[in-house]
């Protein structure tokens, strides 16, 4: 579904991604793990068109997408749920969700809104509440719900568990798994490698802008190097 070939991404003089290649197959949950600053968010931003690679190629469903405008990429079926949630604080829950469908022209938006409310009953209770007044966990649910409103084929999730209490972390990972079982492919960036490897099919490990390891999530979870570096073993 997604194939990234040897991309190089810079922030000015900073070489943030150094020849990164990876692939995501339809139906998978693939996790990107790595320390702070390794380049995980940069990969997602490049895939969603917020950054342009200086070289390399990105193919999504057989089409070259590197450097396309972000709204074109959303229309093709990639939705990015950014780090820190970035909900529109002064708009209601429902307005935030409707904005997720901004580029759609079909007439199933209302029924998708109902589906998001079924998945996140908390958002239904709070549909008229300003998003800025939601708790951290509720904002994360809203950010995921908003991303789903574009009907993505591939959902990019950046640190969905960040800052959440342990029970909510479990809940968010359970919801990600459900979304995946419903047919959405997921590329998941996580600091919480333990949890991410529990729900992912495969994973890539990133260190200072390079992929240093990849494999099935189970293989990586059992590897001594990974356990020492990322799983606190
Ligand atoms: P974290 O888990 O801390 O979010 P990350 O793996 O997602 O880390 P990135 O945010 O992708 O890391 O950052 C990769 C590198 O690029 C870092 O060295 C970071 O300082 C640098 N970087 C990120 N954004 C910018 C920017 N706007 N300008 C300059 N450098 C940046």
How many A from CA of 4 to the centre of ligand 1? 19
Please choose, from the candidates 220, 205, 222, the residue with its C-alpha nearest in 3D space to the C-alpha of residue 38.
205
| Cβ-based neighbours of 87, under 8 Å, separated by 6 or more | 96, 131, 132, 134, 139, 142, 143, 146
Any ligand 1 atom below 6 A from CB of 41:
yes
Q: Which residue has the tokens 């000015």?
A: 12
Query: Can you give the pLDDT at residue 163?
Result: 83
User: What pTM value is reported for the model?
Assistant: 0.92
Name the percent of the chain lying above pLDDT 70: 99
Q: Strands 55-60 and 63-64: what pairing?
A: antiparallel
Query: Can you give the pLDDT at residue 162?
Result: 87
Which of 41, 48, 81, 188 to mutate to test ligand 1, by most ligand atoms within 8 A of the CB atom? 41
pLDDT at 233 over 70: no
Which of 8, 17, 33, 40 to mutate to test ligand 1, by most ligand atoms within 8 A of the CB atom? 40
Any ligand 1 atom below 6 A from CB of 204:
no
ipTM of the complex: 0.91
Which of 10, 12, 14, 17 to mutate to test ligand 1, by most ligand atoms within 8 A of the CB atom? 14
How many A from CA of 125 to the centre of ligand 1? 36
Phi and psi at residue 65, to the nearest 5°: -120, -5
Gap between the Cα atoms of 18 and 29, Å rounded? 23
- Render pLDDT for 127-172 as a digit per residue (tens, 0 to 9): 999 999 999 889 999 999 999 999 999 999 999 998 888 888 998 9
Domain borders along the chain are 2-230
Gap between the Cα atoms of 169 and 220, Å rounded? 21
Fold of domain 2-230: Rossmann fold (3.40.50)
- Render pLDDT for 52-71 as a digit per residue (tens, 0 to 9): 999 999 999 999 999 899 99
Q: What is the mean pLDDT of the chain?
A: 93
Please choose, from the candidates 200, 82, 93, 199, the residue with its C-alpha nearest in 3D space to the C-alpha of residue 147.
82
| Cβ-based neighbours of 125, under 8 Å, separated by 6 or more | none
- Render pLDDT for 81-118 as a digit per residue (tens, 0 to 9): 988 778 999 999 999 999 999 888 898 899 999 999 99
């Amino acid at each position: 579904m997604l194939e990234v070939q040897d991309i190089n991404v810079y922030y000015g003089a900073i070489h943030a991604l150094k020849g990164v290649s990876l692939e995501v197959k339809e139906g998978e949950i693939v996790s990107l793990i790595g320390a702070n600053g390794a380049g995980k968010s940069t990969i997602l931003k490049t895939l969603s068109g917020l950054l342009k690679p200086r070289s390399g190629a990105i193919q999504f469903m057989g089409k070259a997408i590197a450097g396309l405008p972000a709204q074109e990429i959303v229309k093709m079926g990639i939705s990015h749920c950014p780090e820190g949630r970035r909900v529109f604080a002064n708009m209601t829950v429902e307005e935030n969700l409707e904005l997720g469908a901004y580029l759609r022209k079909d007439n199933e938006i209302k029924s998708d809104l109902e589906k998001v409310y079924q998945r996140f009953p908390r958002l239904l209770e709070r549909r008229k509440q300003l998003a800025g007044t939601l708790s951290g966990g509720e904002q994360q649910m809203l950010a995921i719900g908003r991303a789903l409103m574009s009907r993505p084929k591939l959902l990019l999730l950046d640190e969905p568990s960040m800052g959440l209490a342990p029970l909510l972390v479990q809940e968010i990972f359970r919801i990600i798994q459900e979304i995946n079982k419903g047919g959405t492919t997921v590329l998941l960036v996580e600091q919480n490698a333990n949890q991410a490897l529990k729900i992912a099919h495969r994973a890539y490990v990133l260190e200072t802008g390079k992929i240093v390891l990849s494999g099935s999530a189970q293989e990586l979870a059992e590897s001594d190097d990974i356990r020492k570096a990322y799983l606190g073993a």
